[in-house]
Amino acid sequence: MAFSLKLVASDPKVKSIFINIFGGILRCDKLAEGILHALKTVEIKQKMIVRLKGTNVEAAKKIFAEANHPNLIFEEDMDKAAKLAVSIANK
């Protein structure tokens, strides 16, 4: 994940990063841990909007809240998350 994040974040045309995952087999809490691990190894300037739905999503929300990363925004609603990503990109 860190390599992919670094690749996307290094493009000057990228103004926001939107991650949308439905975690059925993959547990959302493990994905949240992976995202935070990637953010520890890759410095991003863009806001990252994350929308997760599925197994252990409540645990993932807690993990993100406790991490309190300045560039990470968790949004449960798909439409709100997408609109937020576009709004940030258009600033």
Q: What is the 3-state secondary structure (H, E, C) of the chain?
A: CHHHHHHHHCCCCCCEEEEEEEECCCCHHHHHHHHHHHHHHCCCCCEEEEEEEECCHHHHHHHHHHHCCCCEEECCCHHHHHHHHHHHHCC
Closest CA to 45 of 85, 82, 17, 64: 17
Nearest CA to 14 out of 38, 42, 47 is that of: 47
User: Averaged over 35-47, what is the pLDDT?
Assistant: 94
| Averaged confidence pLDDT in the chain | 94
Identify the pLDDT of residue 24: 76
Confidence of residue 17 (pLDDT cuts 50, 70, 90): very high
Q: How far apart are alpha carbons 84 and 78 in whole angstroms?
A: 10
Q: What are phi and psi of 69, to 5 degrees?
A: -75, 130
- State the pTM of this model: 0.90
pLDDT above 90 (res 38): yes
Query: Does residue 48 register a pLDDT over 80?
Result: yes
Section 4-31 average pLDDT: 92
Q: Residue range 2-31: average pLDDT?
A: 92
**Could you give all domains of the chain from N- to C-terminal order, each with its CATH number?**
2-89 (3.40.50.261)
pLDDT for position 76:
93
The percentage of residues in the chain with a pLDDT greater than 70, rounded to a whole number, is: 100
